[in-house]
């Protein structure tokens, strides 16, 4: 099965309701107007949700990686070499690659594992990360 | 001359050190359970880019780093909150 990072978000209720209204024999114009405002609302809600997900992911990963081994390695390599921006080019493409791999793996799992199971596993993983961070704080 | 060797070396070093590390685990967990895997990818990649950018800046001269322990403690709280949100029984939280 092909893994798609951009798999459609599940609550496409606006699109569904458009399809529904097209399938019924009601006058076309009135439901269409209603659906377009509903659609705008849904799009707005989706955008806010995506923004919240982006923000929380960005913040937690940014804070957890500050002073972490990868950053220290980047720091040391760029200090040693005469061209820090080449180090940045290598490091940044590696980081984009690892996050892309992570997200693809997450989507792949989402297609295979039940949502409830996935939610529990994801929650446990995040708790594990929190504990790991606390361990790093106390042992360095 | 463009030093491909250096780019390749830093790519491999960082790639191997991040493979299976906590930020990648977080990316797997969050993208698997979220409706917005693309937002998770952009957030994760953006955050990692910023940390390595800051690493390069700090390497160039001023080695002024943030209080790492405090920052990590905040990150731990953030991850714990997201974990609780995922593990909390359905229905108690507003639908998002």
For B20-29, write each residue's pLDDT tens digit: 899 999 999 9
The partner residue sitting opposite A98, judged by closest CB among B24, B29, B30, is B24
For A98-120, write each residue's pLDDT tens digit. 999 999 999 999 999 998 999 99
- Where on the phi/psi map is residue A28: left (φ > 0), alpha (ψ -120 to 50), or beta? alpha
Hey, is the C-beta of A73 within 8 angstroms of any chain B C-beta? Answer: yes
**Residue A87 near residue B56, CB atoms below 8 Å:** yes
Please say if the pLDDT value at position B58 is more than 80: no
pLDDT at A42: 87
Query: Is residue B63 domain-resident?
Result: yes
b/e string for A98-135 if b means 16 or more Cβ within 10 A?
bbbbbbbbbbbbbeeeeeeebbebbbebbbbbbebbbe
Residue, of A24 and A35, whose pLDDT is higher:
A35
Q: Using CB atoms, which residue from A63, A74, A84 is nearest to B75?
A: A63
Does any domain span residue B83?
Answer: yes
- B93 found inside a domain: no
Residue B93 contacts A, CB cutoff 8 Å: no
B95 in any annotated domain? no
Record: contact A107-B31, CB cut-off 8 A: yes
Average pLDDT, chain A: 79
Given a cut of 80, whether residue A35 has pLDDT beyond it is no
- pLDDT tens, residue by residue, A57-78: 999 999 888 878 888 888 888 8
Does residue B94 lie within any of the structural domains?
no
SS3 A12: coil
Contact B40, B34 (CB under 8 A): yes
Nearest CA in chain A to B74: A63
Distance from CA of A140 to the nearest CA of B (A): 9
The number of domains in chain B is 1
Q: Is the pLDDT of residue A39 over 80?
A: yes
CA angle B17, B20, B25 (to 5 degrees): 130
CA dist list (Å): B1 to B4, B5, B58: 9, 11, 24
Q: Tokens in use for A100?
A: 């892309």
Residue among B86, B95, B56 at smallest CA distance from A56? B86
Q: How confident is the model at residue B31 (pLDDT cuts 50, 70, 90)?
A: very high
Nearest to B32 among A50, A57, A106 (CB): A106
A36 contacts B23 by C-beta, under 8 angstroms? no
A13 has pLDDT over 50: no
Domain membership of residue B15 (yes or no) is: yes
Q: Dihedrals φ, ψ of A113, to 5°?
A: -105, 150
pLDDT greater than 60 at residue B64:
no
Across the interface, of A53, A78, A129, the residue whose CB is closest to B60 is A78
- Could you give the CA distance from residue A140 to residue A85 in angstroms, rounded to a whole number? 29
**Does any domain span residue B48?**
yes
Quote the percentage of chain B above a pLDDT of 90. 45
Give the predicted TM-score (pTM) of the model: 0.74
Closest CA to B46 of A130, A56, A8, A108: A56
Query: Which of B68, B71, B20, B5 lies closest to A77, judged by CA?
Result: B5
Cβ contacts of B69 on chain A, cutoff 8 Å: 137, 140
Domain enclosing residue B48, as ranges: 4-87
Express as a percent the part of chain A with pLDDT over 90: 43
Please choose, from the candidates A95, A23, A130, A5, the residue with its C-alpha nearest in 3D space to the C-alpha of residue B13: A95
Phi, psi of A37, deg, nearest 5:
-70, -40
Residue to test with chain B: of A6, A64, A83, A128, most B Cβ within 10 A: A64
pLDDT at residue number B63? 47
Q: Does B65 contact A6 at a Cβ distance shorter than 8 Å?
A: no
Please answer yes or no on whether A98 and B26 come within 8 Å at the CB atom.
no
Whether B11 maps to a domain, the answer reads yes
């Amino acid at each position: 099965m092909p893994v798609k990072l951009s798999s459609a978000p599940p609550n496409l209720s606006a699109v569904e309701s458009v399809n529904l209204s097209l399938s019924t024999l009601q006058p076309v114009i009135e439901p269409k107007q209603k659906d377009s405002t509903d659609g705008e609302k849904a799009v707005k809600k989706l955008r806010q949700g995506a923004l919240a997900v982006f923000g929380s992911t960005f913040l937690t990963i940014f804070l957890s990686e500050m002073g972490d081994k990868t950053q220290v390695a980047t720091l040391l390599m760029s200090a040693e070499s005469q061209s820090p921006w080449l180090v940045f080019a290598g490091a940044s493409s590696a980081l984009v690659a690892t996050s892309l791999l992570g997200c693809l793996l997450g989507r792949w799992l989402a297609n295979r594992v039940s949502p409830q199971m996935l939610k529990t596993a994801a929650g446990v993983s995040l708790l594990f990360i929190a504990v790991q961070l606390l361990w790093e704080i106390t042992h360095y | 001359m463009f030093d491909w060797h250096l780019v390749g070396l830093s790519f491999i070093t960082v790639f191997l050190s991040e493979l299976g590390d906590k930020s990648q685990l977080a990316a797997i967990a969050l993208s698997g359970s979220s409706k917005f895997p693309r937002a998770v990818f952009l957030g994760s990649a953006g955050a990692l880019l910023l940390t390595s950018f800051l690493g390069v800046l700090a390497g160039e001269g001023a080695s002024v780093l943030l209080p790492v322990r405090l920052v990590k403690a905040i990150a731990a709280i953030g991850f714990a909150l997201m974990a609780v949100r995922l593990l909390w029984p359905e229905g108690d939280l507003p639908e998002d």
